Amino acid sequence: MGHRLADASAPARLAAPEEGIGRDELALATRNHGLPLEALRYDLTPPGLHYVLTHYDIPYVPDDTPWHLAIGGRVGRPLRLDLADLRAFPQVTTRVTLECAGNGRALLTPRPVSQPWLVEAVGTAEWTGVPLRLLLAQAGVEPEAVEVVFTGADHGVERGVEQDYRRALPLNVATAGDPEVLVAYAMNGAPLPPQHGRPLRLVVPGWYGMAHVKWLREVEVTDVPFAGFQQAVAYRLRRHREEEGEPVTRIAPRALLVPPGFPDFMSRARVVRPGRVALEGRAWSGRAPVTCVEVSSDAGRTWRKAELEPDTGHRWAWRRWRYDWTATPGDHVLSARATDAEGHGQPLEQLWNRGGFANNVVQRVPVLCVDEG
């Protein structure tokens, strides 16, 4: 008979070979959802199609609920700001592609047991809010400061540790001018939907989703590195349990295809007819601008350059690419891969770590070209 908090949590584990997705993974998959890949067609992802990952419950914040953001710690003038105070600061809108650090996890062998993403944990939105650097300048960051810790209102337990969701950024990232970290109150011109952090969230262009703290309540400037659960235990790249591991930070390059043709309901196999098939998709990197996208129609053996849309000035958003493929009857595997200006690319074989983080293995889209009908 369990009476202790630790009884709610199971240890981290890897799935056994051939082990199907479990009830716990499914319970996460039915509530957190990805971008249906056909929605890669939208420059800006409609909110209900944008991926969502919430560790605990979505806090219930009806419209008339008072909300305050506290800014404190190693600052000269602690602040307590309501939404009207925040709207009085200069307003910035940035188009940002957000991707979950665990994207691709369910394709890994062995599979880390957690939110079982295939490749769809991504979305792009225009986020509007106050540059964090302006808030920190107003509060007056003290010289000893090294990090800024962000606390959300979402509360739960993880590996036996009861916690509000909390993550930190290095001071130089938090106060940077390009990109600016935002305390955002709008998504695509409307108030944040509940699942995207209503009424306030952090947006950290170029970083994986775990950094973009939702339901933001508190900003604390610290003079020691943050050692909380989501920083020191979760979101680290470890091959072995005992390692300290590197922290997960910026988004690795990835290209995805809009699946061509039409699907089978159950197998999700794609069906096309012979002839020209206009392929398109999106590519992004949080490290440097995407400079090249290549397409393969033979499971990665040969590659051709795709046409990358001209630079739209949205550095932190995905770019569209196109490629004309001539389909012939039979089975094909389509793939796309992105390379960024710093030379980061995508591997053909998985990059494995125990958390299933930052995996950007090349997507494989099986397509059946039928010669009937």
Q: Which of 331, 341, 342, 347 binds a second copy (CB under 8 A)?
A: 331
Tokens of 114: 């957690």
Closest approach of Cβ 320 to a second copy, in Å? 13
Q: Rule CB under 8 A: is residue 7 a binding residue for a second copy?
A: yes
Q: Rule CB under 8 A: is residue 27 a binding residue for a second copy?
A: yes
Do residues 252 and 260 lie in contact, with contact meaning Cβ atoms separated by under 8 Å? no
Q: Which of 2, 66, 76, 313 binds a second copy (CB under 8 A)?
A: 2
Binding mask 30-49 for a second copy (x = CB under 8 A): xxxxx-xxxx-xx---xxxx
Comparing CB distances to a second copy, the nearer of 54 and 297 is 54
Tokens of 358: 């930052």
Choose the stretch contacting a second copy; rule: CB under 8 A; options: 212-220, 298-306, 311-319, 363-371.
363-371
Q: Rule CB under 8 A: is residue 341 a binding residue for a second copy?
A: no
Closest approach of Cβ 186 to a second copy, in Å? 15
CB under 8 Å to 144, separation ≥6 — which residues?
A: 74, 223
Q: Rule CB under 8 A: is residue 350 a binding residue for a second copy?
A: no
Q: Rule CB under 8 A: is residue 330 a binding residue for a second copy?
A: yes
Q: Which residues ranging from 300 to 329 are in contact with a second copy (CB under 8 A)?
A: 329
Q: Rule CB under 8 A: is residue 288 a binding residue for a second copy?
A: no
CB under 8 Å to 136, separation ≥6 — which residues?
A: 71, 75, 148, 174, 175, 219, 221
Burial (Cβ within 10 Å: 0-12, 13-18, ≥19) of residue 63: exposed
Comparing CB distances to a second copy, the nearer of 194 and 281 is 194
Q: Which residues ranging from 43 to 102 are in contact with a second copy (CB under 8 A)?
A: 46-50, 52, 54-58, 60
Q: Which residues ranging from 179 to 238 are in contact with a second copy (CB under 8 A)?
A: 193-196
Closest approach of Cβ 199 to a second copy, in Å? 13
Comparing CB distances to a second copy, the nearer of 136 and 272 is 272
Q: Rule CB under 8 A: is residue 248 a binding residue for a second copy?
A: no
Comparing CB distances to a second copy, the nearer of 23 and 77 is 23
Whole-angstrom distance, CA of residue 16 vs CA of residue 13: 9
C-alpha of 206 from chain center: 9
Whole-angstrom distance, CA of residue 40 vs CA of residue 22: 29
254-285 as b/e: b if 16+ CB within 10 A: bbbbbbbeeeeeeeebbebeeeebebbbbbbb
Q: Which residues ranging from 103 to 122 are in contact with a second copy (CB under 8 A)?
A: 106, 113-114, 116-118, 120
Comparing CB distances to a second copy, the nearer of 136 and 327 is 327
Comparing CB distances to a second copy, the nearer of 132 and 325 is 325
CA angle 76, 82, 83 (to 5 degrees): 125
Size of the site for a second copy (CB under 8 A): 78
Binding mask 255-284 for a second copy (x = CB under 8 A): ----x--xxxxxxxx-x-------------
Comparing CB distances to a second copy, the nearer of 36 and 347 is 36
Whole-angstrom distance, CA of residue 147 vs CA of residue 206: 18
Tokens of 155: 């509360």
Direct distance between the N- and C-terminal alpha carbons of the chain, in angstroms, rounded to an integer: 62
Q: Which residues ranging from 130 to 189 are in contact with a second copy (CB under 8 A)?
A: 155-158, 162
For tokens 């040969």, what's the residue? Answer: 302
For tokens 């493929």, what's the residue? Answer: 325
Q: How does strand 246-247 pair with strand 92-99?
A: unpaired
